[in-house]
Amino acid sequence: MAQFTKLKSFEALQAHFEQTKTLHMRDLFAQDATRFEKFSTKACDIELDYSKNRITEETMAKLFDLARETQVEEKRDGLFAGAKINTSEDRAVLHTALRNKSGEPVIVDGQDVMPEVEAALAKIKTFVNDVHNGVRKGYTGKQFTDVLAIGIGGSFLGPKVMTEALKPYRHEGINVHFVANVDGTHIHDVLAKLPAESTLVVMSSKSFGTQETLKNTETAREWFLASGAEFGDIAKHFVCVSSNIAKATEFGIAEDNIFPMWDWVGGRYSLWSAIGLPIALSLGFENFSELLEGAYEMDVHFKTTPLEENLPVILGVLGVWYINFYGAQSHVLLPYDHYLRAFPAYVQQLDMESNGKSATPGGEYLDYATGPVIWGGEGTNGQHAFHQLIHQGKVLIPADFMLPLQSQHEVSNHHAMLASNCFGQTQALMQGKTEAEVIAELKAKGYSEDDAAKEAPQRVFEGNKPSNTLLFSKITPRTLGNIIALYEHKVFVQGIIWGINSFDQWGVELGKVLGNDVLAKLEDSNIALDGDSSTNALIERFRQR
Ligand code: F6P
């Protein structure tokens, strides 16, 4: 497949962009009272309003042509069927099998993986129920009160963000704490407040080779033994999730305490596997199942809905429109829901680790932009901080606003105020405020014609800033499953259009290798400093501390 900028549909979009780039959304709305009906759609528990984008019906038709010409539909079918689309690692990509509720087999290398998936879920269920019911206890016979979840990247962000987002659904009596960073301050502070006798440690590492996770687990093990426990008690308190059974047993985790995962599940797509064990421990197995059901619902939508009504496809092609035609370099996520405040951090890994690529699997370097910088934060906080740049800065930043129609806690009229801010922001970004409007306002306040004209530019809002609004009835485990799978598939669609492999992450490797080399030099001052002058000097400073 040729790089997408060489395709007919891309050329047609390029010509269309030149014709439409000066259109203002304010005029498009004024000209067409049915714009919302035309550019909004609903799937699962998500209603998507994408009318506040710099698009016409022709734009969307051409973007769908691009999706078709880049074979999004065929490749999507390959994804669900277990094709080895992660070519650089020769792996299938089957996070969808983890939430497959169709009853149909999913074949990898001639083998149906569903029995293994079901067996892992059954193991999670029994374990979680045993912990919650006190069948499984700590070494002194106390029921578990706390879970220390150790992992990083995909073995951390999903569980952390889901348990935070679903706080109202938590199982009483169990508190889950996360440690990811190798910064000793973090584990120090968390361990300081945990009772060793009633703390269960869940170590999650697909590879069982990640420096931070191994170190934090060792530190937790020392802390546990220092509390008076015997070596043999470790088996009662330490479990792990990994696809590397050999390394996990070598580390001392009893085989029975290892929850499996597979190399056909990418780290950032793994919360649906036993990597989600901390979620199930926090929310109960039923709620974890609901999360999987929600993701499955979105899978069915993605798999069966025509591109024109397909939520992940719509979000995906809109992103491509701004990145590759308007030159947008970032995309902001704005959840108007306090419990979803860490959602942007989750999508950051999902999107940036997947699509931060600059070559095709066929060995060609790309001469066009791929994945954007993903950032964001909860509304309304951002309005008093970084929204200024989105409204009046010189860079174009497409936004996704997210709002549940019902709050988890209806306090006074807080939720109406929250919603008014969310909708008001999308409106302000779209319509802006013209110079004529600003001058009229200033003159009404008593400014002279000259002063008003001089003052106006700083107060003008260009408008025409694109945003999507995603509404949900309420954040439930099922709805959250819908949302996460929606973003997973959006990233997939974009990766297909850009012709990249969204499922490897070679970009994280070099830093790991050099970090290990530096660690040896920090810990042994006899090792010669043979690097560049900056790194040598930094190591020297540390050695001298
Ligand atoms: O360093 C990046 C990464 O490899 C991510 O892709 C992954 O989610 C994370 O590290 C953790 O990896 P593991 O689960 O193997 O410890």
Strands 399-404 and 330-335, how do they pair? Answer: parallel
- The answer to whether residue 512 is catalytic is yes
Phi, psi (deg, nearest 5) at residue 199:
-110, 130
Could you tell me if 277 and 130 are in contact, meaning their C-beta atoms sit under 8 angstroms apart? no
204 Cα: distance to centroid of ligand 1 (angstroms): 10
4-69+305-431+466-498 and 111-283 have identical folds:
yes
- Residue 43: per-residue pLDDT: 98
> Which residue's structure tokens are 């984008």?
53
Concerning whether 212 is annotated as a catalytic residue, the answer is no
Which single residue is written with the structure tokens 């710099």? 54
Residue matched to tokens 């014609």: 449
Q: What is the pLDDT of residues 103-138, one digit of tens each?
A: 999 999 999 999 999 999 999 999 999 999 999 999
What ligand 1 atom has the least distance to the C-alpha of 509?
1
For residues 157-176, average pLDDT:
97
Mean pLDDT of the chain: 97
Average pLDDT over residues 239-263: 92
358 band by pLDDT with thresholds 50, 70 and 90 = very high
Element (H, E) at 40: strand 40-43
Cα(295)–Cα(286) distance, integer angstroms: 14
Neighbour count for residue 299 (Cβ, 10 Å): 25
Superfamily of domain 111-283: Glucose-6-phosphate isomerase like protein; domain 1 (3.40.50.10490)
Is domain 4-69+305-431+466-498 given the CATH code 1.20.1250.20 in the classification? no
pTM of the entire predicted model: 0.97
pLDDT band (50, 70, 90) for residue 250: confident
Extents of the domains making up the chain: 4-69+305-431+466-498, 111-283, 507-543
pLDDT digits (tens, 9 = 90+) for 434-471: 999 999 999 999 999 999 999 999 999 999 999 999 99
**C-alpha closest to that of 171 among 341, 275, 287:** 287
Residues of the chain with pLDDT > 70, as a percent, come to 100
Catalytic site includes residue 137: no
Give the model's pLDDT for residue 251.
Answer: 84
Q: Whose CA is nearest to atom 5 of ligand 1?
A: 153
Catalytic residue among 384, 394, 445, 523: 384
SS3 label, residue 339 = helix
For the chain, how many residues are written?
A: 545
Dist. CA 266 → ligand 1 center (Å)? 9
Mean pLDDT of the 47-67 span = 98
Query: Residue 421: its pLDDT value, please?
Result: 98
Q: What is the CA 106 to chain-centroid distance, rounded?
A: 25
| 223/227 Cα distance (integer angstroms) | 6
Amino acid letter, residue 354: S
pLDDT digits (tens, 9 = 90+) for 298-320: 999 999 999 999 999 999 999 99
DSSP-H helix ranges across 157-263:
157-165, 184-192, 211-226, 234-237, 245-251
Is residue 269 scored above 90 in pLDDT? Answer: yes
Host H or E run for residue 438: helix 435-444
Give the burial class of 417: count Cβ atoms within 10 A of its Cβ; 0-12 exposed, 13-18 middle, 19 or more buried.
exposed
How much is the average pLDDT of 86-90? 95
pLDDT band at 252 (very low <50, low <70, confident <90, very high): confident
Which of ligand 1's atoms lies nearest the C-alpha of 275?
Answer: 14
What is the residue whose two structure tokens read 């530190």?
219
Residue 268 alpha carbon, nearest atom of ligand 1: 8
Kindly name the residue from 58, 409, 512, 540 that is annotated as catalytic. 512
pLDDT of amino acid 167: 98
- Residue 404: predicted pLDDT: 98
Q: Is 402 left (phi over 0), alpha (psi -120 to 50) or beta?
A: beta
| 146-150 and 175-179 strand pairing | parallel
- Give the pLDDT confidence score for residue 223 in this predicted structure: 98
Please tell me the distance from the alpha carbon of residue 481 to that of residue 263, in angstroms, as a whole number: 22
Q: How far apart are CA 464 and CA 396, in angstroms?
A: 10
Whole-angstrom CA distances from 59 to 99, 350, 420 are 34, 27, 30
DSSP state of 140: T
Whole-Å CA distances, 112 to 105, 187, 374: 6, 40, 36
Ligand 1 centre distance from Cα of residue 211 (Å): 10
SS3 35: helix
Q: Which residues line ligand 1 (CB under 6 A)?
A: 152-155, 205-207, 210, 213, 267-268, 353, 505, 508
Find, among 467, 468, 476, 409, the residue nearest to 44 by Cα.
Answer: 476
**The ligand 1 atom nearest the CA atom of 267:** 8
Pairing of strands 199-204, 146-150: parallel
Confidence of residue 3 (pLDDT cuts 50, 70, 90): confident
Pairing of strands 399-404, 146-150: unpaired
CA atoms of 415 and 471, how far apart (whole Å):
13
